[in-house]
Amino acid sequence: MKKLVVLIVFVMVACAIAQTAKAPQSAKQPTSVAAAPAQSHVGKYQLFFSPLARADVYLVDTETGKIWKPITITNAKDTNLQSAPEVWVYQERVDSARDFDAWMMMHTPPAAATTPSQ
C-alpha cells in the first residue's frame, strides 16, 4: 500500500514538473516594440459623454477625428412620429488659431441693415 502511495505521489510530482517546464523559444522573436504589430481594439466610432450632463454627448470617428453631436428636431411635422426624432449633426472642429480664423470668416454675421438718411 505504501509503495502505491509513493508511486502516485511520484507520478503527480513528475506531471507537475513537466507542466511547469518552459517551452523552447523560437529564434525569430521581435527585438523591439516597433517590430511587433500594434493591435487596437478601439472601434471606428466611439461615444463620449459626461456623467454630469446629457448635453455633453459626442460621437467620434477615431480614424479621422470628426465629431457629431445629437440634436432633437422639435418642429418635425410628420404625424407618424411618436416623439421628436434625434439625429447626429456634424460639428466643426477648431484646433488652432488658424482654424478659428477660417471658421469666423465662414460664420460672420451679416452686416446690420441701415436705413438711408433723408
In a domain, 80, yes or no: yes
Question: Predicted confidence band at 11 (pLDDT cuts at 50, 70, 90)?
Answer: low
- Quick one: which of 61, 57, 56 has its CA closest to 46? 61
Task: List the domain range (segments joined by +) for residue 49.
Answer: 45-95
Separation CA 103–CA 94 (nearest Å): 8
Question: Predicted confidence band at 20 (pLDDT cuts at 50, 70, 90)?
Answer: low
Grid cell in block for residue 60:
467620434
Residues 15-20 have a mean pLDDT of 64
| 45 pLDDT above the threshold of 70 | yes
Q: How many domains does the chain have?
A: 1
In a domain, 105, yes or no: no
In b/e form, how buried is each residue of 19-55, taking b as 16+ CB within 10 angstroms?
A: eeeeeeeeeeeeeeeeeeeeeeeeeeeeeeeeeeeee
What is the pLDDT of the chain when averaged over all its residues? Answer: 75
In a domain, 63, yes or no: yes
In a domain, 34, yes or no: no
In a domain, 40, yes or no: no
Q: Between residues 107 and 71, which one has the greater pLDDT?
A: 71
Residues 44-66 have a mean pLDDT of 84
In a domain, 75, yes or no: yes
In a domain, 50, yes or no: yes
In a domain, 61, yes or no: yes
